[in-house]
Chains A and B, each alone.
Chain A
Amino acid sequence: MTNQPEDQSNYAQAEVNLQLDADQKINLMRDMIRIRRFEEAALKYYNAGKMGGFLHLYIGQESIAIGAVSLCGENDHIITAYRDHGHALAVGMNMNECMAELFGKSTGCSKGKGGSMHFFAPDKNYWGGHGIVAGQTPLGLGLAYGIKYKGLNGAALCFLGDGAVNQGTFHESLNLATLWDLPVIYIIENNGYSMGTSQERSSAFKGSLAQRGEAYGIAWESARGHDLYEVRAKTQKAFNRARNESRPTILELATYRHQGHSVADANAKKYRTPEEIGHHKENFDPLSLWKNQLLKEGVLSEEKHRQIDGEAKAEAKAAVEFAEQSPYPEISEITEDVYFEVDQGSTAGKTGRHFFHD
């Protein structure tokens, strides 16, 4: 079982949450539901053989991307690993371009060149979507470096999984973050398993993974990732530290993925018991928890929830249709988007041979 922090403070009373009006709370729900319905549709068509490669689903973790990204301003930047669909939709990418990318179509967000693990939207401050575990952690640091270098008041949100904390680049990034006072926020989405290996079998730690930050003089905190109020409250503290003091934070959010590591995870039901999975779905599903919270607060009705859910399903269905109807890239496009100057058709792009296939 993942560690579930004991702190039961009422994060609804945090300033950043008191500022939310009813519409904003419902929008947060809508955003989470959209991720869930998008991925359910993706799963269906992955299983139908419409997509290649891997499909790492975010189902169960939606409150983290939605909660953290909901706090981002124009000078804040976001980067994550390969379980990236949720963050992509959270920053405002649309379902069509994301679904088409999964289908490998030219209308995809990366023109069918990136796939599930590599979604990007720099116009929305979203820098991927990275396939190598922890490979994005120095890049996130670099985003913070860029923010600081340009004199902007912002932060880089770098998401990673619990499996990434044992990679050298993460530790190197932590050292540099403190050494150079960089406004980076590392959010460890701790779903308890690095692929099929539990946290207990993969990481040496005391208390929490985030606590490792102490060795580097980095402020750290653990939180319940399924609680949207708590995610927002704790992330806001990290944002304040980044924006006001240009200092890094490690935030570890306990969460759970309902599906396997990827859909191709043959042992998904072996390394976790059905009881464990059921326990989390029943008690810690962020969508159910947020819905119940809003019902309790009286800002949401069952009817409104049904309507939003229906809209999300329809949107996902339409995205599938869009993806199916879209063309694949042309063979000639394989060598586009490799070199800037070549794509520009500039003199530099025509100087020397850039590609060596016959």
Chain B
Amino acid sequence: MPMTLYRHAINRALNEELANDENVVIIGEEVAEYDGAYKVTEGLWKKWGDKRVVDAPISEAGFIGMGIGASMLGVRPVMELMFFSFAYVAFDQLINNAACVRYMSGGLINCPIVVRGPANGGTSVGATHSHAPENLFANMPGLKVVVPATARDAYGLMKSAIRDNDPVYFMENTLLYGDPAAASDLDDGEFTLPIGSAEVKRSGTDVSLIAHGRSVLVALEAAKQLEEEKGINAEVVDLRSIRPLDEETILQSVAKTHRAVLIDETKPFCGISSQIATTIQQEVFDDLDAPVLRVTSIDAPAIYSPPLEKEQVPNARRVVEKVMQLG
């Protein structure tokens, strides 16, 4: 079975949506002639030309804001941030304009923009290039935040994101782009996946490992170790979308396993896992046999030192240890 890599799945979704809708335009740094800093947009400029795939100068606030303005007129820009860490340069545009314009206009204005790019640590590029800011953006009503862990999810969710009439911030991962563990069989033709739907990636009975993005792969690896070494059968829930959030799938899993460990690469203070923990204690408190525990990034700016950074972000060993603390 030919497996499609994560980067190629996104590329396929972009290519298909460029074909489906003439208002779709890809804009970003190095997305066209360079073929994408991480080769996500490879071949698209050659196929679609200057109008549909546009190299932007290093000017995030300017070109992201421009894309937001164009989207109000019905253009559907898919804007690449070479790293989501660069979103901070364009923060005013991403929050005050994209997230608020529908609301402030009393619902008169659509802002159908996708902002996509890698949002992860673990690659030894230091604090400025290693942010996982999904919690910051998911905090803002008006925005949708999607963090796919597999090629299949990235493909289906990207197509939905481009077709959505609200801004969708689509957070990818440099470590997943070429990772065979994130690759999927995509042979079943064109499809979309709904934003706001989680998926149980591994069924289990003893503990729910709830994660998003690359942490899902970490959870799956931990689940394997837990089964092989401890005889613990873990369920892995992949959020896929942070906002909207599929609470039903989370709660069903916890109600079944009675234990939850949340794996979350954001920083712990008001991280994604903080919100999930609130929901669990509020909705299924009586089903819990243990406190909800978390494995987040260790609470400091991203460290450079390669072996240390692998400890700072969630890894399978830390997840296994946390599960064993549940008693």
Contacts and interface: CB of A to CB of B under 8 A. Distances in A.
A77 B73 contact: yes
Interface residues of B, number: 53
B194 A176 contact: no
A173 interface: yes
A340 B104 contact: no
A172 interface: yes
B103 A120 contact: no
**Most B CB atoms within 10 A — which of A110, A142, A348?**
A142
Contacts of A173: 62, 65-66
Contact of A143 (B70, B107, B247, B275): B70
Interface stretch (A131-139, A187-195, A200-208): A131-139
A145 interface: yes
Contact of B68 (A118, A132, A142): A142
B92 interface: yes
Sorting the interface of chain A by its residue count into under 10, 10 to 19, 20 to 34 or 35 or more gives 35 or more
B1 interface: no
B245 A352 contact: yes
Given A149-B25, A340-B110, A352-B244, A175 B57 contact: yes
A111 B93 contact: no
Contact of A110 (B61, B68, B106): B106
Contacts of B110: 340
A270 interface: no
Interface string A110-127: 111110001011110001
B66 A120 contact: no
Contacts of B71: 142
Interface string A315-348: 0000000000000000000011111110100011
A337 B246 CA distance: 21
A130 interface: yes
B243 interface: yes
A335 B142 CA distance: 10
A129 B160 CA distance: 30
A100 B63 CA distance: 35
B296 to A, nearest CB: 19
Contacts of B101: 120, 128
B166 A340 contact: yes
Interface in A171-190: 172-173, 175-176, 179
